[in-house]
């Protein structure tokens, strides 16, 4: 018996007792099937990316006042909450909005509790007229709602429909599991509107202050208690609360010399609606949207499934003329993407099966690696469920990639068993011999491929969270396939492979072709080993090319995907009203609806900005992508009068951003001092020719009417500044005085001048202010009107004054290029004391853009350490790594340099995976060559014979990987860009890496490998 048969080991039991590996495999299949049915389906791995939005109305106050007295105390409190990444704020007249952005996977419920406590501690610092802060927990990775439900309201007013939705529909939708909140977009709450008539007020000598006091004194909730005796208990009630329009009209304001003045005599009263700041639209139709938001980390597809069921039940109960449709479904893209990747999985399994069959030449022999596929994949699913993973775009992509990897070890086993049986061994003897010969290389190959992903487990931030599940899924599948190759595959190969002389015609033909190829390769290798210095010199030069390839490749966080939508942000002039913006959105929708393959457009219109999303037909029904349409869309939108409309693509990864580039500049300077630098940065952005559009949120063009109060004159008439401001607020602010009861719900009572009386700022000077003596004096006698302009909005970032430059990229350039260009301009333009920071996707790019390159270096180090343990040498691992990995990486990076794809997190994952794949082939050759040295061959003969004998399994594993992953290169549809990126890297890198492994690695072995002394090896004993 030959000495190469190996030593007995633990794994012999799986050949001696074949029922054991069969039972293990069946157990993995059963567990995997259960996991496949029960695992949740998400778009991305579950993450909690949250922000706490603190909104504090201070009706009637100027932006400067709100900023100093409301925004700044709240910012200080929010900044002390544990787990906050950064704070930003926007302040406009009457409203403060502070947003605390939490670190990734920071529990929002704990942060919310802490924030409530902090706000309670500073409540005394807020002005008496400011309302209590309202805290909303938002998903930072999803600015908009998951679903916008279109409420059709024929024959009903907006406030009536909104009231019905609040009472009857919103509670049902809010009860759906994982729904965070349901908001009515474009709705209006009912309100009792008291439209003051200034001419009637002046004629009857009634002031706004008298009206406010009368409402407060005569529209009250008056709990007077109850009476109780031994027999009964009776609750006592009064009619202290006004309920109807008639009740308010009859309210007595004042009694002047016995003449009663009622509210209806000085005001027009109607049951109307609050002055809204938002209009919802679907294409060219005004409507209401029920905006459904999911909890951070929620299973949005499950929410959608339940929502569709609940919606059918709700529609059956709605009044005639009212109906709720799906206006926008944010899960359509993720459903399509997941469906597409499952199709790719099926194609991969089919192609790998064909490749294995062709290489083996026998269906029975091909069954051995093919059976490994379902066992490994289902086993990986069982462990995925145990680790709390989900089916998502990344884990399913890992399963797709693993199809081409899990067959590798089984291919090596069945090829080795078949070869031994052709040499005359019995089935059992061949199984034992092969198991012993391949124990070390299979363990080494499996652990090596799994080890490349270990550094990813230590990554933090969004990249680490997203990639971790991908990496662990792939590693687990590979480790299980290695276990199957050591337990089930040897004995199964022995009974599936034909004995010597019993091969079929196809098997003999395939074997003959490989034998001929092996002889030619051996002859070529014998010649090329004589050129070892020249080959190593070429290898060094080509490997060094990876540096310029890397530096000159386009980089981005993730490729832009076609999500069937072009997002549009429209900005009106600074003085625009809600109606102005609403009217001009008709032109925007006309432009968008005339784009090829356009369907409908949802819109949320605010006075200062309107956002919307133009939907398109499925990519399979058009021959262009939404990215291809971006330049044309911008050109058309730029011709829309009255608005600046910018098209943009939705981010491919969970992101808080709305633009391609968002660079924040903070300083201790005022808005007026920062404006010149903002304009210079904007000019530099356009001069770079990288952007479709660029703009900044620092615009000092908002018209303001500033009344300079004459404090001496106010004091002369017995008034105070507070008293004057209060009376003006009643006329103009739209603030509510108290609430009234409407069918069991409380709504606001709002006195103010009617719109026609508020059109002219000069007419406001004629408003009458009542003195303590009862005299009515014109406001013009107490103040002087000064017209000026100010910032549209006051913004702060990390408690410093700030402005943001945002831009959209020309499709030919990446976000990384755009951000770098703006950074370079900021370096030249900004003075000392100005600090550059980032928001949105730009923040992720700068925090995490190159983290995977660090993981790439760590992966190489881990692989080296594993190989040192495997070979018990320090030189042999260098042969494996230097003879294959640098060349494969340079070959793959050549395609990013040529522009076939970009350097992004998916292509970087491909590079990390490539390290493990090419290392596996190197292990096969080097380990067998070492084995031959120990039999007594010289180093030259050992590598010559070792490489030629291992040629077939190397080509088979490479063929399975390349052909199995080739659908990723050609795939289209939802999520295609990410799969294209990783597919190009793996297919190109594996092809070139295998070529260099077969050509260069033998020369590297001859130059660097250790010498291995001959040793005795026990023969296989077969009963």
DSSP 84-116: EEEEEEEEETTEEEEEEEEPTT--HHHHHHHHH
**pLDDT score of 1023:** 44
Would you give the distance in Å from CA 521 to the centre of its chain?
49
E strand residue ranges, 782-894: 783-791, 794-797, 800-809, 835-838
Cα angle 799, 805, 807; round to 5 = 145
| Maximum alpha-carbon separation in the chain | 129
pLDDT for 224: 66
Distances (CA, A) of 782 to 258, 556, 727, 763, 1005: 31, 60, 13, 14, 96
11-38+362-497+513-558+846-1008 against 191-226+235-274+703-790: fold identical:
no
User: 3-class secondary structure for 324-348?
Assistant: EEEEEECCHHHHHHHHHHHHHHHHH
Q: What share of the chain is helix, strand, coil (3-state, %, to 5)?
A: 55, 20, 25
The tally of CA atoms less than 13 A away on the side-chain side of residue 938 is 3
pLDDT at 236: 64
Please name the fold of domain 11-38+362-497+513-558+846-1008: Multidrug efflux transporter AcrB transmembrane fold (1.20.1640)
Q: Write out the two tokens for 131.
A: 């309302």
Cβ partners under 8 Å of residue 799, min gap 6? 72, 75, 76, 79, 87
> What residues does each domain of the chain span?
11-38+362-497+513-558+846-1008, 48-140, 191-226+235-274+703-790, 566-597+607-702+794-838
Residues facing residue 281 across a β-bridge: 286, 603
Q: Write down the pLDDT at residue 899.
A: 85
Q: What is the pLDDT of residue 7?
A: 66
741/749 Cα distance (integer angstroms): 10
Write down the mean pLDDT value for the chain: 84
User: Taking the chain (1023 residues) in consecutive chunks of 10 residues, what is each chunk's mean pLDDT?
Assistant: 54 84 91 87 79 88 89 93 92 90 87 92 88 85 80 81 88 90 85 88 84 86 69 68 88 85 90 83 88 78 90 90 87 81 82 79 78 87 88 83 78 80 81 82 80 77 80 87 86 76 72 86 88 89 90 83 87 86 92 91 88 87 85 89 86 75 92 92 92 88 82 86 83 83 85 75 80 83 84 91 90 86 93 91 78 78 86 86 89 90 85 85 85 85 87 84 84 80 90 90 86 58 44
For 164-220, the DSSP string reads: HIIIIIHHHHHTSTTEEEEEEET---EEEEEEE-HHHHHHHT--HHHHHHHHHHHS-
Distance from C-alpha of 224 to C-alpha of 50, rounded to nearest angstrom: 45
3-state secondary structure 706-747: EEEECHHHHHHCCCCHHHHHHHHHHHHCCCCCEEEEECCEEE
- What CATH class has 191-226+235-274+703-790? alpha beta
Helical packing angle, 875-882 and 1001-1008, nearest 10°: 160
Round to whole Å and give the CA distance between 510 and 821.
57
Instruction: Count how many residues are written for the chain.
Output: 1023
CB–CB of 818/681 below 8 Å? no
From 330, 218, 850, select the one nearest 615 (Cα to Cα): 330
Tokens 């890198």, located at residue = 989
How far apart (Å, rounded) are the C-alpha atoms in residues 120 and 112? 12
Task: For residues 90 and 56, give the distance between their C-alpha atoms in angstroms, rounded to a whole number.
Answer: 11
Q: In a 10 Å sphere around its CB, with 0-12 CB exposed, 13-18 middle and 19+ buried, how is residue 134 labelled?
A: exposed
Of 951, 913, 667, 894, the residue nearest 800 (C-alpha) = 667
Nearest in space to 293 (alpha carbons), one of 170, 477, 422, 161:
170
Structure tokens at 367: 């069954």
**What's the rounded Cα separation, in Å, for the pair 431 and 489?**
9
- In this structure, whether the domain defined by 566-597+607-702+794-838 belongs to CATH 3.30.70.1440 is answered with yes
Residues 6 or more apart in contact with residue 520 via CB below 8 angstroms: none
Query: How far is CA 720 from each of CA 171, 582, 726, 884, rounded to the nearest angstrom?
Result: 47, 40, 10, 85
CA dihedral over 464, 468, 471, 472, signed as positive or negative = positive
Burial of 143 from C-beta contacts in 10 A (0-12 / 13-18 / 19+): middle
Q: Encode pLDDT of 560-613 as tens digits.
A: 888 888 989 898 888 788 888 999 999 999 999 999 989 989 988 988 889 888
Q: In CATH terms, is domain 48-140 a member of 3.30.70.1430?
A: yes
Q: 83: phi > 0 → left, psi -120 to 50 → alpha, else beta; which?
A: left
**For 105, left (φ over 0), alpha (ψ -120 to 50), or beta?**
left
What pLDDT was estimated at residue 143? 66
Output b/e per residue, 476-491; b: 16+ Cβ within 10 A: bbbbbbbbbbbbbbbb
**DSSP conformational letter for 71:** I
Q: Residue 603 forms beta bridges with which residues?
A: 281, 612
H or E element: which one contains 267?
A: strand 267-273
> Is 164 within 8 Å of 157 (Cβ atoms)?
no
Q: Are 195 and 753 in contact (CB under 8 A)?
A: yes
pLDDT number for residue 1: 32
What is the C-alpha separation between 442 and 435, in angstroms, rounded?
Answer: 9
Q: Does the predicted TM-score (pTM) go above 0.85?
A: no
Which burial class, exposed, middle or buried, applies to 871 when counting CB atoms under 10 A from its CB (0-12, 13-18, 19+)? Answer: buried
Nearest to 170 by CA among 337, 71, 334, 307: 307
**What are the structure tokens assigned to 698, written together?**
């620092």
Q: What is the DSSP letter of 623?
A: S
Do the bridges between strand 226-228 and strand 233-235 make them parallel or antiparallel, or are there none, so unpaired? antiparallel
How far apart, in whole angstroms, are the C-alpha atoms of residue 710 and residue 726? 16
Please, what is the angle between helix 363-386 and helix 19-38, to 10°?
Answer: 50
């Amino acid at each position: 018996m030959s000495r190469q048969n190996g030593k007995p080991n633990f794994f012999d039991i799986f050949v001696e007792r074949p029922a054991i590996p069969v039972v293990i495999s069946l157990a993995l299949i059963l567990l995997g099937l259960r996991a496949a049915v029960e695992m949740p389906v998400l778009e991305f791995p579950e993450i909690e990316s949250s922000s706490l939005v603190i909104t504090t109305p201070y009706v009637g106050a100027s932006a400067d006042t709100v900023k100093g007295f409301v925004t700044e105390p709240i910012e200080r409190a929010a900044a002390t909450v544990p787990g906050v990444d950064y704070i930003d704020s926007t302040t406009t007249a009457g409203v403060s909005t502070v947003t605390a952005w939490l670190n990734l996977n920071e529990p929002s419920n704990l942060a919310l509790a802490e924030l409530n406590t902090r706000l309670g501690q500073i409540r005394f610092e807020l002005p008496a007229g400011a309302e209590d802060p309202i805290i909303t927990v938002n998903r930072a990775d999803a600015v908009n709602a998951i679903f916008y439900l279109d409420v059709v309201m024929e024959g009903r007013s907006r406030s009536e429909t909104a009231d019905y939705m609040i009472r009857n529909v919103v509670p049902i939708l809010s009860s759906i599991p994982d729904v965070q909140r349901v908001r009515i977009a474009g709705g209006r709450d009912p309100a009792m509107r008291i439209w003051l008539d200034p001419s009637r007020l002046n004629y009857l000598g009634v002031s706004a202050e008298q009206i406010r006091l009368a409402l407060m004194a005569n529209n009250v909730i008056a709990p007077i208690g109850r009476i109780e005796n031994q027999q009964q208990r009776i609750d006592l009630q009064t009619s202290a609360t006004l309920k109807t329009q008639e009740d308010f009209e009859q309210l007595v304001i004042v009694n002047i010399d016995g003449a009663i003045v009622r509210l209806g005599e000085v005001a027009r009263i109607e049951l109307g609606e609050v002055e809204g700041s938002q209009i919802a639209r679907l294409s060219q139709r005004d409507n209401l949207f029920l905006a459904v938001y999911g909890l951070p980390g929620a299973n949005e597809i499950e929410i959608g499934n339940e929502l569709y069921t609940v919606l059918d039940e709700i529609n059956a109960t709605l009044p005639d003329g009212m109906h709720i449709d799906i206006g926008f479904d944010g899960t359509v893209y993720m459903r399509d993407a997941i469906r597409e990747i499952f199709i790719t999985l099926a194609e991969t399994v089919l192609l790998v099966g064909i490749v294995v069959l062709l290489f083996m030449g026998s269906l029975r022999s091909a069954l051995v690696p093919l059976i490994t596929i379902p066992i490994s994949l289902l086993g990986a699913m069982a462990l995925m469920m145990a680790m709390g993973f989900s089916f998502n775009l990344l884990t399913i992509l890992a399963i797709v990639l693993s199809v081409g990897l899990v067959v590798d070890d089984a291919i090596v086993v069945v090829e080795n068993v078949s070869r031994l049986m052709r040499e005359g061994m019995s089935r059992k003897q061949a199984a034992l011999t092969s198991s012993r010969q391949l124990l070390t290389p299979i363990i080494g190959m499996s652990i090596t491929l799994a080890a490349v992903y270990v550094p990813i487990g230590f990554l933090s931030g969004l990249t680490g969270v997203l990639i971790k599940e991908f990496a662990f899924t792939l590693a687990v599948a590979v480790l299980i396939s290695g276990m199957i190759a050591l337990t089930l595959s040897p004995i199964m190969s022995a009974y599936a492979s034909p004995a010597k002389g019993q091969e079929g015609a196809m098997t003999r033909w395939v074997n003959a072709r490989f034998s001929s190829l092996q002889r030619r390769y051996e002859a070529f290798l014998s010649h090329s080993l004589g050129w070892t210095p020249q080959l190593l010199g070429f290898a060094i030069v080509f490997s060094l090319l990876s540096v310029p390839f890397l530096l000159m490749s386009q980089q981005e966080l993730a490729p832009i995907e076609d999500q069937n939508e072009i997002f549009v942000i429209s900005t009106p002039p600074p003085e625009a009203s809600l109606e102005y913006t609403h009217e001009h959105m008709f032109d925007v929708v006309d432009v968008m609806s005339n784009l090829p393959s356009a369907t409908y457009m949802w819109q949320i219109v605010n006075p200062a900005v309107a956002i919307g999303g133009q939907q398109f037909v499925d990519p399979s029904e058009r021959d262009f992508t939404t990215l291809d349409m971006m330049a044309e869309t911008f050109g058309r939108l730029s011709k829309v009068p009255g608005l600046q409309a910018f098209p943009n693509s939705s981010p491919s990864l969970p992101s808080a951003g709305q633009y391609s580039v968002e660079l924040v500049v903070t300083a201790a300077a005022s808005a007026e001092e920062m404006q010149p630098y903002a304009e210079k940065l904007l000019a530099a952005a356009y001069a770079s020719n990288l952007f479709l559009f660029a703009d900044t949120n620092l615009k000092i063009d908002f018209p303001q009417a500033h009344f300079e109060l004459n404090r001496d004159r106010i004091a002369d008439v017995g008034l105070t500044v507070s008293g004057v401001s209060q009376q003006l607020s009643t006329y103009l602010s739209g603030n509510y005085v108290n609430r009234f009861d409407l069918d069991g719900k409380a709504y606001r009572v709002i006195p103010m001048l009617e719109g026609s009386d508020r059109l002219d700022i000069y007419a406001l000077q004629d408003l009458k202010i009542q003195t303590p003596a009862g005299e009515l004096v014109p406001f013009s006698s107490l103040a002087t009107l000064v017209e000026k302009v100010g910032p549209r909005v006051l913004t702060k970032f990390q408690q410093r004054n700030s402005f943001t430059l945002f831009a959209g990229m020309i499709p030919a350039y990446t976000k990384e290029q755009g951000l770098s260009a703006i950074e370079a301009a900021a370096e030249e333009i900004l003075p000392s004391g100005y600090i550059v920071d980032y928001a949105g996707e730009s923040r992720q790019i700068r925090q995490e853009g190159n983290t995977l390159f660090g993981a790439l270096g760590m992966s190489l180090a881990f692989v080296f350490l594993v190989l040192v343990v495997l070979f018990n040498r320090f030189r042999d691992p260098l042969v494996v790594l230097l003879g294959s990995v640098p060349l494969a990486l340079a070959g793959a990076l050549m395609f990013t340099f040529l522009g076939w794809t970009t350097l992004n997190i998916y292509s970087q994952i491909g590079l990390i995976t490539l390290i493990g794949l090419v290392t596996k082939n190197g292990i096969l050759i080097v380990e067998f060559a070492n084995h031959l040295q120990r039999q007594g061959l010289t180093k030259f003969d050992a590598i010559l014979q070792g490489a030629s004998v291992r040629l077939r399994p190397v080509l088979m594993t490479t063929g399975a990987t390349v052909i199995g992953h080739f659908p990723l290169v050609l795939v289209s549809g939802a999520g295609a860009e990410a799969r294209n990126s990783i597919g190009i890297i793996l297919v190109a890198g594996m092809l070139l890496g295998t070529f260099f492994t077969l050509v260069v690695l033998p020369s590297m072995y001859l130059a660097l490998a250790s010498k291995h002394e001959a040793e005795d090896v026990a023969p296989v004993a077969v009963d």
